Chain A
Amino acid sequence: MLARLKGPRRGGLLVLALVIALLPLVLPNRFYFDVAILIGINAIAVVGLNLLIGYAGQISLGHAGFYGIGAYAVAVLPAELGIPSWLAFLIGVAFVALLAFVVGRPILRLKGHYLAVATLGMGILIFMVVTNESQWTGGPDGMPVARLTLFGFRVSGVQTWYWITGAALLLGVWFALNLIDSPSGRALRALHDSEVAAQVAGIDVASYKLFAFVVSAIYACVAGSISAFYTGFVTPDGAGFLHSIEMVSMVVLGGMASTFGGIVGAALLTALPQFLTVFQEYEHALLGLVIMLCMIFLRRGILPSLAAVLLRGAGQGGRA
């Protein structure tokens, strides 16, 4: 039983590592690298958000706020206070963890729509701060980000960032898979299925929810920092409501409670608009159509549904 569960998981991580390692061989130029990096960055945030939405069963419409803090931490702290970029990154992560902890405590008492609205409000507050405090953040026009310097080396170039993003994604997925397989992960899934039952079984519901919230916030923050370092420029859009919705869509489209599904969702929603530009005016309509078709025919999300179909086809029962 254990071996059967673990097999595909290890296998999944191996496949992901292979894809990341081999992709550069087929990417023709920097534009494709750029898209691959954006996919990686989105995937990191989505893997984290999936822990909250897919496993703990809590919705958040404010994760772009954490993403924004991660991005602005590495932009503002070095520029205003002369703090080294790597330290600014760590401060950003610590701050987000603390913020998620403090804010999460009261708002995770809410459920359903109320939780959605509370997280939405939190995200919008963060967005307003980065938009309005223009003496630090450059306001709605954004601000440049100093290049990351590590051990005296300037980290730049699309190839370098490809490997950094890839490594960060692998690390994030590895951590998420381990977490899901641990007692905490089982507690989270119990909570997802029925809070009452989980509570009766002796699970500290409030702490586990908070734990998932903080962990997912850190994922979003790390993704935000990487994105800021890579692009060299931050704008408040990254912290905006639409970005939160985008992340949730990636989770739902790819497959809730499927770590690799989230990555597929991130890849699809990041890359598809690039391929659809040839259709010009119909671009948005086609994007909507693809999403609708996926939601109608692949109701559990792309990866879980496909896996189910494939396994059924092979005459096996199983899960993604």
Chain B
Amino acid sequence: MFRKRSLMALFAAVAALAVTAGGPGAAWAEIKIGSVLSVTGPASFLGDPEDKTLKMYVDKINAGGGVLGEKLELVIYDDGGDAKKARTFATRLIEEDEVVAMVGGSTTGTTMAMVPLFEEAEIPFISLGGAVVIIDPVKDFVFKTPHTDRMACEKIFEDMKARGISKIGMISGTGGFGKSMRGQCLDVAGGYGIEVVADETYGPKDSDMTPQLTNIKNADGLQAVVNPGFGQGPAIVTRNYAQLGISQPLYQSHGVASKSFIELAGETAEGVRLPAAALLVADKLPDSDPQKKVVTDYKAAFEAKWNQPVSTFGGHAYDGLFLLIEAMKRAGSTDGKAVRDELRKTKDFMGTAGLVNMSAEDHLGLDLSAFRMLEIRKGDWALVE
């Protein structure tokens, strides 16, 4: 008897869930913006700050009267880093929530899975994913805000050229980020007159890169080493690099542009260079820098609200949201095509990633000046002039 009653209770609970889940939860909002982010799961370091940034700024915008005289409603779904889930949530945003635009897609994988849906529905989609494939070839309704790995390679090689370096070694992570960036670097190296004399890789969970670095150290004429990768791998590479006493300069990627890298690598990080967004050195920018106000404001707002250090990833969401809102204001409507056309006309938009100038052929709109070359000095970031 007891069992039967508890069963009934279970059904009642499930039924109650289903009923509450049925109707749309929030009040009558006029402009619905959708977002699918990897708030949990292995890519949560991307999705979490993006989620917090979007929520914070949508609240702020609504408090200030909204956009085009109407309030914004933000619909966020968490895909857990799974491309298949992202796709289902994207369908839901388009069909069920009927959003007018989308700012989201934390990773390249989730973004690419959602691209065909937004293209078909003709709804503007501003992606926060990293790789260049998102906007190259150009897709009608897809834009993105983060710098590409190709640009990171170019920025590094530009700096090397200025230092007279032409023969380099590469040690790349085999994760998605390291792999993609390694390919891009090999692709553009020739254009800068740079020859890759050693090319090694390591797995995402490796705890010692001494053998690979020894090979690189022994390569003929080595002048510098590049390490595409993120997570803890680059910190281990940096430590091993110092242990082996390799004296040539070491370049890291924008993937390690966070304080935790410096903490992990400790003193061995001294002198390491990397390309990164200005957000990391917001306080150190000269007052004359046109980007200073944007990045210091965003940093102060984020850190005050969430009490955690700012990251460049949240900055990408900030850029995406404001690019979209400015385009809507200029278009005077939320019609997909009108907003798309205005997004393409974005000129001199100063975001956390840099100065954005889009066109029909360029749905990213950043150039190399968006990256700053940083050097780690005394355990902190310093701008390389």
Q: Which residues of A contact B (CB under 8 A)?
A: 29-31, 34-35, 38, 132, 134, 139-142, 144, 227, 231-233, 235, 237-238, 273-278, 283-284, 286, 290, 293-294, 297-298, 309
Contact = CB atoms under 8 A, between A and B. Distances in A.
A30 B20 CA distance: 21
Contacts of A35: 88
Chain B interface residue bracket vs A: 35 or more
B21 A275 contact: yes
Interface in B71-88: 77-78, 81-85, 87-88
A142 B112 contact: yes
Majority secondary structure, A binding face: helix
Given A29-B95, A31-B95, A277-B77, A141 B131 contact: yes
Contacts of B17: 275-276, 286, 290
Contacts of A134: 179
A107 B22 CA distance: 46
Contact of B109 (A227, A235, A275, A309): A235
Interface in B1-51: 3-4, 6-7, 10, 13-14, 17-18, 20-22, 25, 40
A34 B10 contact: no
A144 B114 CA distance: 11
B87 A231 contact: yes
Nearest to B121: A30
B179 A231 contact: no
B296 interface: no
Interface in B54-104: 77-78, 81-85, 87-88, 91-92, 94-96
Contact of A309 (B7, B77, B78): B7
Given A29-B96, A139-B176, 7 more contacts: A31-B91, A38-B84, A139-B180, A141-B107, A141-B176, A277-B77, A283-B78
Contact of A297 (B7, B22, B77, B180): B7
B176 A31 contact: no
Given A140-B179, A141-B108, A233 B83 contact: yes
Interface in B171-197: 174-176, 179-180
B231 interface: no
B140 to A, nearest CB: 16
* Interchain residue pairs A-B with the least CB separation, the first 3: A140-B176, A275-B21, A31-B95
Contacts of B84: 38, 227, 231, 235, 237-238
A233 B20 contact: no
A232 B116 contact: yes
20 contacts: A30-B94, A30-B95, A31-B88, A34-B88, A38-B84, A140-B109, A141-B176, A142-B109, A231-B113, A233-B116, A237-B82, A237-B84, A237-B109, A274-B88, A274-B92, A286-B17, A293-B13, A297-B3, A298-B7, A298-B10
Contacts of A274: 88, 92
Contacts of A227: 84
B83 A235 contact: yes
Contacts of A233: 83, 87, 112-113, 116
Contacts of B174: 132
A233 B82 CA distance: 12
Contacts of B77: 277
B182 to A, nearest CB: 10
A113 to B, nearest CB: 23
Nearest to A286: B17
A278 B88 contact: no
Nearest to B131: A141
A31 B83 contact: no
Contacts of B40: 284
A257 to B, nearest CB: 21
Contacts of A294: 10
A283 B89 CA distance: 15
A309 B4 contact: yes
B88 A38 contact: yes
Given A142-B109, A233-B87, A278 B20 contact: yes
Contacts of B4: 309
Nearest to A294: B10
A66 B25 CA distance: 39
A229 to B, nearest CB: 13
